[in-house]
Amino acid sequence: MESRARWRLLTTTAKLPPVHPGEILMEDCLWEMDITQHKLAVSIGVLPRRINEIVH
């Protein structure tokens, strides 16, 4: 029971600043998979501009 209360305290008091979705897309997907915004857009069937708008 003590660990549950401690976990609740840790998760409610430690507020992290929000991360922009474009930052996650760029760093965790595009860089990690070594693909371009254009290649991602074509592979998922959206306009390259849409990916660019998310990233920037």
Q: Number of folded domains in the chain? A: 1
Question: Does the pTM exceed 0.85?
Answer: no
Q: Is residue 27 one of the residues assigned to a domain?
A: yes
- What's the one-letter identity of residue 41? A
Range of the domain at 56: 19-56
Q: Is residue 52 one of the residues assigned to a domain?
A: yes
Q: Is residue 11 one of the residues assigned to a domain?
A: no
What is the predicted pLDDT for the residue at 12? 65
Q: Is residue 4 one of the residues assigned to a domain?
A: no
What is the predicted pLDDT for the residue at 13? 61
Return the percentage of the chain with pLDDT > 70, whole number. Answer: 82
DSSP string computed for 1-56: -HHHHHHHHHHHH-PPPP--HHHHIIIIIIIHHT--HHHHHHHHTS-HHHHHHHH-
Q: What is the pLDDT of residues 16-53, one digit of tens each?
A: 788 999 999 999 989 999 999 999 999 999 999 999 99
Banded model confidence at residue 3, pLDDT cuts 50, 70, 90: confident
Q: Is residue 3 one of the residues assigned to a domain?
A: no
Span 1-18, average pLDDT: 71
